[in-house]
Chains A and B, each alone.
Chain A
Amino acid sequence: MLQTSVAAAEPFVPRRARSEAVRRIVLYVVLVAFALLFFTPFVWTISTSFKTLPDSAYFNLVPHPFTTEAWKSVWNDYDFKRYALNSLFLAVTVTLLNLFLASLGGYAFARLRFPGREVLFLLVLGTLMIPDQLRLIPVFVMLTKWHLIGNFSGYILINLVTAVNLFFMRQYFLTIPRDFEEAAKLDGAGYFKTYWRIMLPLAGPAIAALAILQFQGTWNDFFWPLILFGQGSEHMYTMQLGLAQLTFTYQSLWPQLMAGSLMAIAPILVIFLVFQRFFISGVTAAGIKG
């Protein structure tokens, strides 16, 4: 009895609850509207990739008839099989080299003492500021002199290790307590062994984030493959370069173009779905610390 009279004396409580419900509905409406805006293009892309060419001119969402012809022809006839292998080879190689060199260098900058360390580290920070687009012409001139244009090793060489990755690893190593290394030192482990056996396993999350972001970066890279393989080295095309070439050459072959686009996205999508956690933490950590 007492309780109901209290509730009646405070009419703002139900009003508040109502406004809370309204707020939620508004938020959901906004969310769904954005989701539609973000997703409609992809849904449309997927649908078109399973259509026949004449059917792709119409606006039916469900392919009629449903066919995987476009996927097959892009993969076999338009050479995406080769492009996929090229991309995979470059992405795996560059990622592994970056993992090793960035963590090794990051460990040294975080833990080992050597004269000139601070100066060298300033050079790393300076390197962070140099945009790829600025080194475009000088690097191209250098690689031309060394006959490394139209050659995978040229691409790998200029992407062996990035300052961002090294910086990222160093920052992570700094957060690891020294106790583990002290123990290793007492056991008589050398510096390389300490790095390999103790520090690398402890840096698991950073390694995972770096591997994922670097793989994505190399797989998605359009700029350097265009510069290095774009001039008549069609057998070296990466997925992204091959796709761009396909859009230039066959401008309204929509089912094939959409199948090709989805192939270019697919590996990254799979990695993203499996390792979301590392993706998101990696992006924000690299960004905020860098």
Chain B
Amino acid sequence: MREAGWGYAFVLLPMAVFGLFFIYPLVYGIYISFFEWGILGKAAGATASTQNYHTLYNDPVFHRALRNTFEYALLVVPLEMALGLMVALVINAKLRGRAFFRSAFYFPSIASSAAITTIAIFILNPDGLLNRIIGSNQAWFGDSSTALYSVVGLNAWTTSGTVMLFYLAALQSIPTDVYEAAAVGGTRAWRTFWRITFPLLRPAHFFVLVVFGIGALKVFDQFYIVSQGTGGPEYSTLSAVFYIYQEAFKSANFGVGASAGVVLFVAIFLLTLLQRATVGRAELG
């Protein structure tokens, strides 16, 4: 009994925080999404309805935000995986200075999104270093046809270091006798990679895909900063979370924002299940 008392005392504050600021808001957010809700709270005389969801369904801006978000995720995650795996493989080869290179590649991942994005705005500005090197004057973030892809490039650059760490950890857990067997068999490095290493990394692929896929769906900071808080030009940098932010803080439509939050949450949740199902089956087959 004494033990139980101390147990409750120790978990009391953490559980209160989780309940009050995570679990209750989840329920409360769903509640808000069914009402007309402004800056002063629930509109006078408002009754529960699915009006906010209809609004979303008919809002081309919301569609655009979803499309941007999925396009971004579909591009950035494979790019991060390819870059991260490539660097991990090179570093995993027993080269001199590997600790240095590992830290060097991981470094952009620890820098804040605001700083990294500011640096990217500088490098990619029309008179910037990148244009100077390739001899153009493209406004990478200022042109609706390149803005999204520029953010993809920016985030692939900063996040692949973290992906590399996960792949490195996975590579180091592959027993070396697997490779010795392949070497005895005279298998060439390229084939060894595709036949042995790549399939053995399946748990890591799955993990990275889910974690960084979900992360990509929640993208906000970089889009917000490169567009100076507008989502432009022409909604090309409006992500789903950015849409929620704008509905709430620019238009004071908390109800619509909350319903967009619910849609995004469902999308993330379904994606987790889908990835689990497909990758899980591939693993069996």
Contacts and interface: CB of A to CB of B under 8 A. Distances in A.
Contact of A126 (B23, B93, B241): B23
A161 B14 contact: yes
A29 to B, nearest CB: 10
A272 B165 CA distance: 15
Interface residues of B, number: 88
A23 B127 CA distance: 39
A130 B220 contact: no
Interface stretch (A3-11, A39-47, A65-73, A201-209): A39-47
A102 interface: yes
Interface stretch (B55-63, B99-107, B193-201): B99-107
Contacts, number: 260
Interface in A17-54: 23-24, 27-28, 30-31, 34-35, 37-42, 44-45, 48
A222 B114 contact: yes
A82 B135 CA distance: 40
Contact of A31 (B95, B214, B229, B258): B95
A131 B216 CA distance: 12
A216 B115 CA distance: 13
Nearest to B132: A59
B115 A243 contact: yes
A227 B102 CA distance: 35
Interface string B123-144: 1010101001000000000000
Interface in B209-251: 211, 214, 218, 220-221, 224-225, 228-229, 241, 244-245, 248-249
Contacts of B86: 30, 34
A283 B26 CA distance: 27
Interface in B83-109: 86-87, 90-91, 93, 95, 101-108
Interface of B: 3-8, 10-11, 13-15, 17-19, 21-26, 28-29, 32, 37, 41, 86-87, 90-91, 93, 95, 101-108, 110-123, 125, 127, 129, 132, 157, 161-162, 165-166, 169, 189, 207, 211, 214, 218, 220-221, 224-225, 228-229, 241, 244-245, 248-249, 254, 257-258, 261-262, 264-265, 268-269
Given A131-B268, A133-B218, 6 more contacts: A114-B3, A139-B21, A240-B113, A244-B224, A247-B228, A248-B229
5 contacts: A38-B161, A112-B3, A139-B21, A283-B165, A287-B207
